[in-house]
Amino acid sequence: MKTVQASAPGKIILFGEHAVVYGRPALAVPVTHVQARATLETNKENGFRIIAIDLDRDYLLAEAASDDPLAVIVKNTLKYLGRTEPPDAVLHISSTIPLARGLGSGAAVSTAIVRALGEFLGQPIPPHQVSALVYEVEKLHHGTPSGIDNTVVAFAQPVYFVKGEPRPIIRRIRVARSLTLVIGDTGLVSPTRQAVGDLRRRWETDPERYEGYFDEIAVIVDQARVAIETGSLELAALGKLMNENQELLQTLGVSSPELERLIETAQRAGAVGAKLSGAGVGGNMIALTPAEAASTVAEALRVIGAAGVIITEVC
């Protein structure tokens, strides 16, 4: 019996969410403390079976709905590999990445599946093609995704990303000095499709105003990229950029009282900067902290009711 296993990390956006949908840059990094895992093993029976334990699902690929994300990524990967029929195999999927919280759970699951299929069939798939395959499924999850989730998860490295046609600009960034981040979960679903769609409608009513906000965010992103790659700013100055990004996200209308409560708590506990990460409305916030203050910030978030807290290093 053949068995192959593959995994993929979660992700957070450090700077630039929402504006990235409109052609501005964003910075994102993998979160390796949480992972999606795909295991493929030979099926003793005929057919390709999908078991997603976290979703309480167990079904055959042949019986899946045409818009089922798990089935779509399997079928698209097989097509890319030139396979007209799926192998007789069982795909087990599990994940420690919270669903719909801005941590890239959908992209991570898809990435793990693509990698596992490629290895199982003896045709490893390079990261740029993994990203392209995953992006097509991201459209099912999010409607008009920027492409940043599939990029950072597939490459599993910090990236500077600008959406573009026919291809985005992707630059893997070097982190001069490691950064400590505390991620706090509101416990609320972050509805990416809705948040992006609502913002687009606001943009359509006053494009000049919102383009100005996106331009301001782009300036912050570029300043943050230089600071992260060169180590040219003190931690407090980088935190100030994070706070400025959050103020603009508030203005865009994608924050929420729950996110603001976690952000303010983190700042009072010693974070030098904090902002929402991802679509907003719900989901997670991130706090940039001195390494020695991370546990204090994490405990403060738990005390006020954060649904989950992760301490991670960006390096």
Active site residues: 149
Please state whether beta strands 179-185 and 89-95 pair in parallel, antiparallel, or not at all (unpaired): unpaired
Q: CA 138 from chain center: how many Å?
A: 11
Separation of first and last alpha carbons in the chain: 39
Question: Helix (H, G, I), strand (E, B), or coil: what is residue 50?
Answer: strand
Do the beta carbons of residue 27 and residue 14 sit within 8 Å?
A: yes
Residue 92 backbone phi and psi in degrees, to 5: -100, 130
Report the alpha-carbon distance of residue 107 to residue 9 in Å, rounded: 9
Cis peptide before 87 (omega within 30 of 0): no
Report the alpha-carbon distance of residue 68 to residue 93 in Å, rounded: 14
* Cα diameter, the chain: 60
Looking at residue 98, the DSSP 8-state letter turns out to be P
Sequence-ordered list of residues with C-beta below 8 angstroms from that of 302, at least 6 positions apart, any chain: 309
Looking at residue 103, the DSSP 8-state letter turns out to be S
Do the beta carbons of residue 162 and residue 25 sit within 8 Å?
A: yes
| 229, two tokens | 């790659």
| 166, two tokens | 């026919």
